[in-house]
A and B are shown apart, each in its own frame.
Chain A
Amino acid sequence: MPRYLTPSKICLLPLIDLYLSGQTASSARLDVLHFIASRISIAGGHDGNDIDRLTESLTGDASDLLKPLQDWASDIPGRNVYDILLQRLWKLDGLDSLHVLFDQLGERTRAVPASDKPRTGLSRASPLGQYIRRCCVEFTRLQFADSQALWSAFVTHRAPTHETWAHRNPVDAAARIAEGDLLSASLESPAQNWLAQGTERVDTYLSTDDTDTLLTFSIHQLQKLGTRLPDSVRSKVQLWMKDQWDSGVQSLQHFLAFFEHWKAGQYTMALESLHRYFDYSLVAKSGSDNMRVYYQYALLHLSVLHADFDCWDESVEAMDECIATARENQDSACLNFALSWLLYLRQAKPASHASPFGTVSGLGGAGGGEQDEIVFLKAKARETKHWSLLSSTLLDESKLEMYRNGMTARALEHVAQSAYLNMQHDLRNLMPIADLFEGASLDRLGQAHLAVRMYEDVEATYGKQSPISDRVRAVCRLAYGAAQSGQYADSLRMLDEVASSAMGVLKLEQRITGFTFLVQLTRSLRRGDTHAAGYYFSQLQPLRTFGDPEMDFEIGLLEIHLLLQRQEPERALKTVNVHIRSLKGTSSADIAHRLHYLVLKAKIFALSQQPTKCFSIALRAASTARRHSLIPVLLEALNMLAAILNDLFEFGAARDILESTLPWIHETRQMKLLAQAFVTLAEAHVGAAGHACIHGSGEQAQHMRLAETHIERSREVYASLEDRSGMLECLIMKAQLARWRNDDASVAQADALYMQLLADGPEAETGFLTT
């Protein structure tokens, strides 16, 4: 395989010459220069994110690659740059003409001009000059057979343009055919059979340089975005790789395979590939003894791999060794990165493996405490100007803040700092995750609409440049949020769409599937279809072992709802207790989760008619949530509290609470909570009408009227959520209120609706199951 020169590179040379000799129209000069520049540094620009475009530019033939030139005029009227270039290309009529071409170009870039002709405005150091010089050097070092191969590849490359050229230059073409016949008759040379060769496409002539570019680019993409290669690209890369056993790319190939296997969830294969990569890299670079410098990176990758497959012990061992090696080699960048990973690992799997993780600060030399570790890392990052580390540490800190210390506002501040750093230092990789964090913290503040904006931002702003895992995460959250407000179809569609872009990364696909089931489960719970809900719940069971706390929590919540719906409060209570206990034990668990369970526990007690027990729990949850400014939980707890107050005949207090929380609830977009709040408020009004007012007074009537309005609103919300039990409850209450008013028509209407809903039930059930 050639090292650098390819036919497409050769095609550029006459174009450069053409440009330099000013044969382009002045209006087109800039465009042509831009074209040349974009070809010279093919993967240099940031816009080269599309790997398909890159491969296409490497494998396309002359007619494809040079097409854009048709749009630009040359200095000859009626001819565009493409025509002129083709004329030049077809002037090359043999191996020798290639030599002549390079001789001429070499003349242009010679340090001391051979003749006293004026220089043609091409400096040796300019990008064009460098390109030409590189091409010349590479051509000089070609063996004869290689230059022969290059020539025949060039002929193949050029062949598709023959028609256009012959159309424009019929005389030349005819002469060429005659000459070609003559030559091929006199000397049976394969190089001259240009027409015959054009018909059969030999496989692409690629240089090592190109393959290297492509591979490096692919690996970079893989590392940055965490995706997998498209199948077409992968097969191409593998095909090219076969020709390259001698060059140093071999090890890179294994690196590529490592990522592939990793993302495809093939743990052992990934491990094998990684080992292979390092073995071969050692072989390739045996000349220099600095291979050991890269050892820590190998360990780093190993550790990340282990962690990704939940092999925590191995991961930590690898990381420890990595840190040791990094310190030995005084590679502070690697060390800091490893430390931050260790921090992450500890957060990800804290309780069960307290001992092997040790403390980062112990290694870093400071006293215990995670806060200290973060401070240490931040200081280090600032010291070494390692901005991405600083940014990610800030994010970590904000996470910690949210989980533990509870000041969501402060967490938001950290996120903002991180985002600022990202902007300042162009850390594109970290921008989407910062958005995610910001969205999460806004969610906690009850600003659901802002959070949704943030999640949408990931896809809208960064699109394909953001790591795929972040995108999937954002979409999952969006979808789940939509499901919470009853837009199940939208939500499922979103998940469906993102599933196609996950490109077979196992973890992400699992996540997407999990969320799809969650949405389905939510819907079936709302519809009161316990049978379907049970099915979905059983499907979700295996996902609980994957150690994704976010999903785990959601599954836990829905499990309890399911149990409650199945009228099994004892089991529900047990489960809740288990959850609360386990969350209490772990230091890094999200406090919001625990509070949520507490509220649920209160709910269970409320359902089982133990309002006093439930009151204290709800109150505690509410106060803690307020302290941590966890608005959604707080609202939930307050709603619970109000319901309990109702039960305790404290209707005034309940009304006060609910009236003050309702706007907040609106903001959080928790539709179910909203409906419940309306119902509770209605109950409070009814209670007030029954207990605090004189019978028959206007005040009582007003309370009843308000209650009726609230019930109606609640029913509407329930209807939008497709929540059957809620709707039925509302209809019953409505009928009762109407009965109180002696409004028979309304009673009949509500009853009719009720009966109809009941009748629809099974139908909806079956229809739902089929979806």
Chain B
Amino acid sequence: MALSSEQQQELQTQLQQVVVACNERCLYFAAKWSAELLNSFSSSDDSTTDDASDTDLDDDDDVPAPLQSTNPDRKEARLETKELPRYLVAKAFFDCREYDRCAAVFLPPQIPHTTPAPQITSPTKLTVSMTPQKISSGRSTSKPGLYAARPQAPALPKKLSQKSLFLALYARYLSGEKRKSEDSETILGPADGPVTANKEVSGILAVLEKHFNARGGIQDLGNSQGWLDYLYGIVLLKAKSENLAKQWLLRSVNLQPYNWSAWLDLASLLGSPEELQQISEHIPRNIMALFFHIHCNQELYQQTPEVFNSLSQLQGIFPRSAWLQQQKALLHYHARDHETAAHLFDSLLKDHPHRLEGLEIYSNLLYVLPNRPRLATLAAMASNTDKFRPETNCILGNYYSLISEHEKAVLHFRRALTLDRNFQAAWTLMGHEYIELKNTQAAIESYRRAVDTNRKDYRAWYGLGQGYEMLECYSYSLFYYQRAAALCPGDPKMWAAVGNAYSKCNKLANAIQAYKRALVVGSQIDNATSSFASGGSDPLAQAVGGALDPQILYDIACLYEKDSNWDEAAAYMELTLAQEEGAEEGDEGLGVTQVTSRARLWLARYCYGCGEWARTMELANELCQDGVEVEEAKGLVRDVRARLQLGEVEEEGEMDE
């Protein structure tokens, strides 16, 4: 999908404009993303900048000029020029992080922050107050009762440009976020979590609702530039009205497709590939949609060839994009192609030595591998770049976790969370650490927070299941394991966990089913599904030599044993044994392991029970050779030998007779 030079020019122009626009609205991260993208075209740097200066109409003008130029709407442009001094001071305040002051430049002084507190202290109340809005916002009517229940939406100054309104409301929103994180106090403390909410949300909602109602509601696209819609979307998201938020965010990306933050928030709302499918009809057909798709698929663990395909297409256009490379690495990582992923991350690091985004996932990867020295080097590097970034602290936490210093690991994860409470990776990892430290309650809470932040994280769901399993609440753990398995159906560990949970709940059939699913997922045989679906009695010629997980096989066998289905049990035990050797002569199997030995012992006893003396002898002798459960095996051997001798004697006796 190579672009023609005109297309590329146009794309560059648009990106430049959007970077400026994002900066004007203080959407720094979106600006950064777009700017990075702008700099990752394949063509040489000089030409692009030259082009940019040519194409940017007002580049030769003074400061006000680009501000005007960003807005094609003449009425808006006029307004913006008029309020330029005020806008400038507001922007300056924002840049100095004086959010309240920034908001006060454009918005009339509002009710002090403390007064709304009693109205929205509990999340239940919040949802109550939100429900009427869900109904109403579709239409353009306003309900007086609604306004009575929340802080009065202040009368907006009549003539205010959308940009200024956005800046003011965004400042208010951030000020609320700041207060929220201040009020939350310590991580996992009593005030942390949903108890403390952003108190500005309702006020902003009111203002925005009024604003949009005045302009014809959600259907009327003509009158908006997409920024306020984005803000409305994220505020709605905060207020937990997700469907509405999705609508508004969709509207925003349609109006302003280059606002990457909007895309990200939209992506965070999608819980499954199906939802992505549904939404894809409504998104604009441009290059940003491709980015969005890649991001969503990566987040949803869809490593289909199509995704890789579109990724490589995009990389054709943006060969130097770190983001794309990171997505590629992540995709490989999710596909358990650790070597490639590590390689990709390495080259990413080499090209962008001071870029920390996504490196916490690299550290996860190094943790899984495990590669201690490299993780240490990564940690040192990150720590050199910036000690106070959540990513850095996650890497450090992972490192300490790997060298079994879990207290320090927890410390670093907490630090990461103090820096950014929405840093989901840290919540999950902290949960893992608390599991290690046997602090189940804290672990569950951490996982819970992780899941709240990002519902697509199967590890957190799995962790929740684990936590409840440790607390012996099996049906709970089953539920969470199911969620994890649903999110990540390609991981046999999830299914095995589900099976285990089922068996704990005494649902043997379901458990066996789940285990079999795990076997299927984990097996490297293409036709495994069919062979198992037909009942497992087929000659499993290929299902040997470590192709299947002996532990799962053994577990299935045990379940069958519990169910008194002896034949099946024996069959699975045999299958377990079969993993020791290769499929053909000379192939390497797993060799003798603890599990296979246990299976052998079981089989030996089973044969003993069935009276197959020769087989019992054989198995028991093998056990003795392997040096596992020797006493038990020797006992069996003696017994069998005695019986055989007795049999011989009897035979002789019979013969004598």
Contacts and interface: CB of A to CB of B under 8 A. Distances in A.
Interface string A64-102: 000000000000000000000000000001111101100
A186 B350 contact: yes
B99 to A, nearest CB: 31
15 contacts: A95-B376, A95-B377, A96-B376, A96-B403, A103-B403, A140-B405, A144-B379, A144-B396, A144-B412, A148-B383, A186-B346, A189-B380, A189-B381, A191-B377, A191-B380
Contacts of B134: none
Contacts of A148: 380, 383-384
Nearest to B396: A144
B375 interface: yes
Interface in B400-454: 400, 403, 405, 412
User: Most chain-A CB neighbours within 10 Å: which of B372, B376, B403?
Assistant: B376
Contacts of A191: 377, 380
Interface of A: 93-97, 99-100, 103, 140, 144-145, 148, 151, 183, 185-192
* 9 A-B pairs with the lowest CB-CB distances in the bound complex, closest first: A96-B376, A95-B376, A96-B373, A96-B372, A188-B353, A189-B377, A94-B373, A144-B396, A187-B377
Given A103-B403, A144-B379, 12 more contacts: A95-B377, A96-B373, A96-B375, A96-B377, A97-B373, A140-B405, A144-B383, A144-B396, A186-B350, A190-B380, A191-B377, A192-B377
A102 to B, nearest CB: 10
A190 B384 contact: yes
Nearest to A184: B377
A96 B399 CA distance: 9
Contacts of B399: 144
Nearest to A99: B403
Contacts of B378: 187
A121 to B, nearest CB: 26
Contacts of B376: 94-96, 99
Contacts of B403: 96, 99, 103
A189 to B, nearest CB: 5
Contacts of B350: 185-188
Interface string B383-398: 1100100000000100
A187 B346 contact: yes
B335 interface: no
A709 to B, nearest CB: 94
Decide if the interface of chain A is mainly helix, strand, loop or mixed.
helix
Nearest to A141: B408
Nearest to B353: A188
B349 interface: yes
A93 B373 contact: yes
B414 to A, nearest CB: 14
Contact of A145 (B375, B383, B400): B383
Contacts of B380: 95, 148, 151, 189-191
B285 interface: no
Interface of B: 346, 349-350, 353, 372-381, 383-384, 387, 396, 399-400, 403, 405, 412
Nearest to A188: B353
B325 to A, nearest CB: 15
A99 B401 CA distance: 13
Contacts of B379: 95, 144
A187 B383 contact: no
Contacts of A190: 380, 384
Contacts of A187: 346, 349-350, 374, 377-378, 381
Contacts of B372: 96, 99-100
A185 B347 CA distance: 10
Nearest to B382: A144
Contacts of A185: 350
Given A186-B346, A188-B353, A145 B373 contact: no
Nearest to B347: A186
Nearest to B354: A188
Contact of B387 (A94, A99, A140, A145): A145
Contacts of A144: 379, 383, 396, 399-400, 412
A94 B372 CA distance: 10
A186 B376 CA distance: 14
A191 B378 CA distance: 11
A424 B478 CA distance: 81
Contacts of B383: 144-145, 148
A144 B375 CA distance: 13
A469 to B, nearest CB: 52
A192 B377 CA distance: 9
A145 B372 CA distance: 17
Contact of B349 (A95, A100, A103, A186): A186
A96 B377 CA distance: 8
Contacts of A93: 373
A189 B384 CA distance: 9
Contacts of B384: 148, 190
A18 B563 CA distance: 59
Nearest to A140: B405
Contacts of A97: 373
A183 B381 CA distance: 12
User: Most chain-A CB neighbours within 10 Å: which of B353, B377, B387?
Assistant: B377
Contacts of B353: 188
A187 B374 CA distance: 9
B390 to A, nearest CB: 15
B383 to A, nearest CB: 6
Contact of B381 (A103, A145, A188): A188
A186 B377 CA distance: 11
A190 B372 CA distance: 17
A336 to B, nearest CB: 51
A189 B375 CA distance: 12
User: Most chain-B CB neighbours within 10 Å: which of A140, A145, A151, A190?
Assistant: A145
Contacts of B373: 93-94, 96-97
Contacts of B381: 187-189
A144 B374 CA distance: 15
B269 to A, nearest CB: 36
B298 to A, nearest CB: 24
A195 to B, nearest CB: 16
B415 to A, nearest CB: 10
Nearest to B381: A189
A8 to B, nearest CB: 22
Nearest to A103: B403
A190 B381 CA distance: 8
B360 to A, nearest CB: 15
Nearest to A93: B373
Contacts of A96: 372-373, 375-377, 403
B377 A94 contact: yes
B392 to A, nearest CB: 9
A379 B545 CA distance: 93
A753 B625 CA distance: 121
Contacts of B396: 144
A646 B402 CA distance: 106
User: Most chain-B CB neighbours within 10 Å: which of A93, A99, A190, A191?
Assistant: A99
B433 to A, nearest CB: 15
Contacts of A183: 377
A173 to B, nearest CB: 19
A120 B30 CA distance: 60
Contacts of B374: 187
A145 B408 CA distance: 13
Nearest to B403: A99
A151 B383 CA distance: 14
A101 to B, nearest CB: 12
A516 B301 CA distance: 94
Nearest to A100: B372
A189 B385 CA distance: 11
Contacts of A151: 380
Nearest to B374: A187
User: Most chain-B CB neighbours within 10 Å: which of A140, A186, A190?
Assistant: A186
A144 B415 CA distance: 13
A388 B323 CA distance: 77
Contacts of B375: 96
